[in-house]
Structure 1
Amino acid sequence: MGEHRVKLPEEDRTLSPHTGLTRTHWVAAADGLLAAAWRYASPTSAFLDLPGRPSRSGVRSDGLEGYARTFLAAAFRTAHGEDPHNWLERYAAGLVAGTAGEWPAITDVGQPMVESASVALGLRLTKPWLWDKLSTSQQDRAETWLREALRHVPAANNWYFFPYTVASFLEAAGRGDEETGRAKQRALELLEGWYRGDGWYSDGDGRAFDHYNGWALHLYPALDAHLSSRPITTHLKEHLKSFHLLFGADGAPVYFGRSLTYRFAAASAIALGAVTGETPLSPGHSRQLISNNLRYFLDRGSLTDGLLSLGWHGPHEASLQPYSGPASPYWASKAFVCLLAGPDHPLWTEPEERDDTNQTLALPGPGLLIQKHNGVTRLHNHGSDHVRPFEGEHATEDDPLYSRFAYSTSTGPTAQKNPADNHISLVIRGDRSVRRRIHPLGARDNWAASWHRPVFDAHQPMVPGLRIESVTAVWDDQELRIHRVIGAPHGTRAELSGWATDLPAELVAVRGWSGQERRPAPQGTAFTTATNLTTLVADIEGTVILAAVAVLGGTFQEADWDARVDEVLRHTLDRL
């Protein structure tokens, strides 16, 4: 695939006519990523100190992260006992040195707790070839380090599945007790409370829906159940009915939510469904999706000198969070869960299948509307906001990864300091509003609806009585966006933006708008450099209806859109 990329075998276009990738290619990808990362191993193998900006947790934690996350890829790679490159010998040495005092301690809401889960899962998957060959004293020291994950406080979200995974390994190693049982029970109780329907969990209390559903909230408990030969109870099959649509024809996952530098980890839930049988997808379709996703990133510069960079295609600062460190992208290792399916598994032996059907799917549970058309998937957001219950609605900054009305597989949101894409804002006395807490009103057929209170700056965070009710209704690749503004004071200016992209895109006024502007977004997106946003504007007061049609990757289709506004309102906002 070229210089600085993972070297893969010749494509197999007979078994895999769409991607050319088979299990052999996935094995080669794992080996290539591991070989590049191990160039940066510490003398004792306890750390993989990858180059790049350090995280806020410090370089020792970053080095542990390099060890733990690549160990996960190595464990999936060797889980059937094949280890021609002696990866497990290196990880065994690192484990012994790390748990003898080199690794940082696990603390409350500390990064080592995150990495303990990858260490524990890696040990569980490779138990006959790594753990069982350690001395009793070495095992005891490893248990002592891991058990601190059970005794410290996780973050109030998917983090509870890090001690869960540690406890699961200890039980599988014959070291379970009341403490491990409590850790697992607590996580499962929380997960049940976070379920919102349609196979989707909120990542903690509130309404934060993102890729953590697949690569954490489903993956850890479902994989534990599979490895323990217990029934899977996490609604994984239901989740995949909608989640599999969130990939473009080119293999890109929908760009929404945090930690997107994990890249092809987005495919891990699809792979896990195939491995466990908890999936509505055929084996050939599952393989096409995960292989297309892997190729998408390998073909678009995600590797720098063989290493996964901090970014999306290549390096991209706006794709990162404060906790991102040089080895953070290696949570992408979770996609290699597909290798738990052996060479004779239908995931690898059945011919690839691709589904090019245009589909629209409403998800009332999370408040999302999926619009898949002509190879691009759009996700219309009327329910995910990442606002914690204790935070309230008054914070004055939005989160571009959760607050926008729409996301897609071919566009990314603009940066926080740039004009916001796919957003309606009100401007009052020079202050521009943001969208914080989203209140879902319903989703059905081809529409989804919500309302929110516009939030302004710290001097005037809320305007009493002011709210915006919104509905998105779609036909083919056309998006009718309707906003009913209620209680706008005199002197209010409304602004509606479209897609931030260099692809063909339009935003056409239907009702209430008086002008159109082009505004620069100089920081661009993860998909394009500096871009411009089409923005509709209007001066409003009181209660008004504002409507427009947005198109991405196509052209505006003439229709009686004004009549459709009234029809949609009768069936949505006027009833809800």
Structure 2
Amino acid sequence: MPPEDRALSPRTGWTRAHWEAAADGLLAAVTPYATPGRALYHLPGGRASFSGHRSDGLEGYARTFLLAAFRTAGAGGADPHGLLGRYADGLAAGTRRPGGDGPEDWPRITDRSQPLVEAASIALALRLTRPWLWDRLDAAVRDRAAAWLADALTAEPWPCNWELFPVTVGGFLAATGHATAAARAARERGLARIETWYAGDGWYTDGPGRAFDYYNGWAMHLYPVLEAHLSADARLLDRHGSRLETHLADYARLFGADGAPLHQGRSLTYRMATTAPLWLGALTGRTPLRPGATRRLASGTLRHFLDRGAADPATGLLSLGWYGPYEGVLQRYSGPASPYWAAKAFLGLLIPPDHPVWTAPEEPGPAERADAVTALPAPNWLLQSTSADGLVRLHNHGSEDARYDPHYTRLAYSTATGPAPPGAEPDNHFGLLGEDGAISPRHGLEPLGAGEGWAASRHGVGTARVVSVVLAHGAAEVRVHAVTDAPPGTPVRLTGWAAGPVPRSELLPLHGLVAVPPLPPVATAYTARAVTPAASGRTGGAASVFVCAARLTAETRPAPLGGLVRVEVDDDGAAHTVTARWQDGTEHRVQLTAGTAQVEHRPAPAPGTAPGGTTT
């Protein structure tokens, strides 16, 4: 890496030169794994995706080509390492006999197949490098490549962010005059389909249901806004650019002071791809962030992962994992080259070097500036950040995707902890215990709202209903769970954060619960030995309420948790009222009745004034 520049980048030390050097290193590392014609990249790793060896090799080509495209297009076509020649050779070899059984033949694009995903990266890379690669190819190679890509225009995507892959391919083919009618139709069809998943406030679900995660940033916003930008489509940019700008106001809060993104959702092995929407906002002028804050967040995340071993020190290859290798963040579609969708992080290289995003001094991100508890109504999340330790915590009362548990179903996530792996008893969970000792899952989530320092949801467990409310203030939380229509005496268990010694996880039973031994230690993405505190209780009638305080903190000498909040629980039989009075005078009151919750927030009075008003 080049020397640090602490004058320009006082918080990370990294500049555009560091991004260029990182891209060069990642591209150099994959070179030995190309097939002779450079059409496939068979990276090591001892794991194949369910799509098979040939598809995994195509993934290696497509995702590293995207990185090469950002690197060379951002340098105005300058290509001292011969990257474009390498990928031009691969394009010619891979499309010579698509679907054949030769050692380098690319698989065809069919309905819901992985090559559809990779076609989007290839099309985008070709579009970005068109003057230096596509326009210089032999006409026969262009025709073969366009014919291979054209299958993406009619292949049926999975009903999620995949709808945008035909959009991206269609944008390129229309721009180059290939299958223009079909290309434009695919573009309009995909953009129309994602409209039903727009939840407002800049947030999309990743398909039907309530799967809120980073696919908002590295897919749902990325492809439409890039298409609008590259096509100079002012109408499309106005619609999707405004959504991106709104989204970034929330999105910037998902990064810890150390550069770590929140550890939530699937495909987390893409790591620094989380920075793509930050750069996209700067590239298109659709961002609420100041240039120095954009670069600080993005460079902080890139450095966070590279400093912690995301690129194997022996090979330079990105591993399947989080920092180093870790199976717990992988899905069935994860193959050896999957991590190279981290290439999206390098979109910032398309921004000219003299742009303020590269020349302005770094400024602190939201998690560094002040303590904040922020409600995000669309996903029904509550974000809690503390400047003393730089941690960000997400309280999840609106996102779920049962296919990818545990990264959607937990009550909370953070920038410094990962969920316990599949098969282990869940952390950050409340459930009823069956006769076999198994704890009930959390699914069928119904959001009940999010507001000033609170978020709430409910779900069913057989005939019983569980209402869950979190109250947050500073670094502390009060977790409230009401169970109705469960047999009296049903055991329940509540668990806290799965963490190592730092940050520290605390759980303090306050009503209806007693502390029990912590769960057996497990390995998470952050530590080989995470310990999860636990508490247990039993239902006592038609409706039972369980309350505890919790905290995740990296402060060296935090104040005792028990002194930060006083909790009272009133029970009139048909309803319960839980009142939390925080140390500074702020108050939350939760009314639980008939399987629902209402929350009142009363802010701390200013010195010398009467108590403030109430919001619900």
TM-score band, normalised by shorter chain = over 0.9
Number of matched residues? 550
Which string of whole-angstrom CA distances, capped at 9 and with x for unpartnered residues, describes residues 477-511 of structure 1?
A: 11111111111113310100000001212111111
CA separation of 1:303 and 1:135: change in aligned 2, threshold 3 A: same
Aligned-partner Cα distance in 2 for 1:181–1:444: 42
Aligned-partner Cα distance in 2 for 1:167–1:142: 13
Aligned-partner Cα distance in 2 for 1:479–1:173: 55
Out of 254, 264, 267, the residue aligned to residue 262 of structure 2 is 254
User: Counterpart of 1:309?
Assistant: 319
Out of 6, 26, 29, the residue aligned to residue 33 of structure 1 is 26
- The equivalences for 1:210-289 within 5 A come to 210-231=213-234, 232=237, 233-234=239-240, 235-289=243-297
State the Cα RMSD in Å.
1.5
Equivalent residues of 2:512, 2:538 under 8 A apart: no
CA separation of 1:268 and 1:31: change in aligned 2, threshold 3 A: same
Equivalent residues of 1:429, 1:491 under 8 A apart: no
- Which residue identity is paired with 1:78? T
- Which residue identity is paired with 1:493? P
User: Counterpart of 2:590?
Assistant: 569
- Which residue identity is paired with 1:516? V
Equivalent residues of 1:520, 1:530 under 8 A apart: no
Out of 70, 90, 97, the residue aligned to residue 93 of structure 2 is 97
User: Counterpart of 1:410?
Assistant: 416
Q: Which 10-residue stretch deviates more, 18-27 or 507-516? A: 507-516
Aligned-partner Cα distance in 1 for 2:207–2:346: 26
SS in 2 for 1:561: strand
What is the percent sequence identity of the aligned residues? 51
Equivalent residues of 2:398, 2:446 under 8 A apart: yes
- Which residue identity is paired with 2:395? H
Equivalent residues of 1:99, 1:141 under 8 A apart: yes
- Which residue identity is paired with 2:521? A
Return the offset for 1:219: 0.4
User: Counterpart of 1:362?
Assistant: 375
Aligned-partner Cα distance in 2 for 1:364–1:51: 43
Return the offset for 1:45: 0.6
Matched, 1:490 2:488: yes
User: Counterpart of 2:101?
Assistant: none
Which string of whole-angstrom CA distances, capped at 9 and with x for unpartnered residues, describes residues 455-495 of structure 1?
A: xxxxxxxx22x110111111011111111111111331010
Aligned-partner Cα distance in 2 for 1:122–1:476: 45
Return the offset for 1:172: 1.6
Matched, 1:506 2:506: yes
Matched, 1:67 2:61: yes
SS in 2 for 1:370: strand
User: Counterpart of 1:378?
Assistant: 393
- Which residue identity is paired with 2:319? S
- Which residue identity is paired with 1:47? L
Matched, 1:205 2:208: yes
SS in 2 for 1:518: coil
Aligned-partner Cα distance in 2 for 1:178–1:384: 38
SS in 1 for 2:87: helix
Query: TM-score if structure 1 supplies the norm length?
Result: 0.93
Of structures 1 and 2, the one with the larger relative CO (CA 8 A, separation 6+) is 1
Which string of whole-angstrom CA distances, capped at 9 and with x for unpartnered residues, describes residues 380-410 of structure 1?
A: 10000115xxxxxxxxx88110000000000
User: Counterpart of 1:9?
Assistant: 2
Return the offset for 1:517: 2.3
Which string of whole-angstrom CA distances, capped at 9 and with x for unpartnered residues, describes residues 178-203 of structure 1?
A: 21122111211122110112211000
Aligned-partner Cα distance in 2 for 1:376–1:382: 19
Aligned-partner Cα distance in 2 for 1:188–1:557: 51
Aligned-partner Cα distance in 2 for 1:517–1:137: 69
Aligned-partner Cα distance in 1 for 2:519–2:136: 62
Aligned-partner Cα distance in 2 for 1:110–1:481: 43
Equivalent residues of 2:478, 2:550 under 8 A apart: yes
Aligned-partner Cα distance in 2 for 1:87–1:435: 48
Return the offset for 1:515: 3.6
Aligned-partner Cα distance in 1 for 2:529–2:359: 44
Aligned-partner Cα distance in 2 for 1:218–1:467: 36
SS in 2 for 1:573: strand
Aligned-partner Cα distance in 1 for 2:434–2:151: 51
Matched, 1:447 2:441: no
Return the offset for 1:413: 0.3
Matched, 1:339 2:349: yes
- The equivalences for 1:101-180 within 5 A come to 101=97, 102-175=105-178, 177-180=180-183
Which string of whole-angstrom CA distances, capped at 9 and with x for unpartnered residues, describes residues 242-274 of structure 1?
A: 111111111010000000000000111111111
Aligned-partner Cα distance in 2 for 1:562–1:526: 37
- Which residue identity is paired with 2:589? V
Aligned-partner Cα distance in 2 for 1:533–1:448: 22
- Which residue identity is paired with 1:96? A
Return the offset for 1:171: 1.3
Equivalent residues of 2:521, 2:529 under 8 A apart: yes
CA separation of 1:416 and 1:25: change in aligned 2, threshold 3 A: same
SS in 2 for 1:419: coil
Return the offset for 1:437: 1.8
Matched, 1:348 2:361: no
Unaligned 5+ segments in structure 1 are 1-7, 388-396, 455-462
Return the offset for 1:208: 0.2
User: Counterpart of 1:533?
Assistant: 532
User: Counterpart of 1:44?
Assistant: 37
CA separation of 1:398 and 1:433: change in aligned 2, threshold 3 A: farther
Aligned-partner Cα distance in 1 for 2:185–2:491: 54
Aligned-partner Cα distance in 1 for 2:424–2:330: 16
Matched, 1:476 2:512: no
Return the offset for 1:175: 2.4
Return the offset for 1:144: 0.6
Aligned-partner Cα distance in 2 for 1:129–1:531: 50
**Larger Rg belongs to:** 2
Aligned-partner Cα distance in 2 for 1:565–1:301: 45
Equivalent residues of 2:163, 2:194 under 8 A apart: no
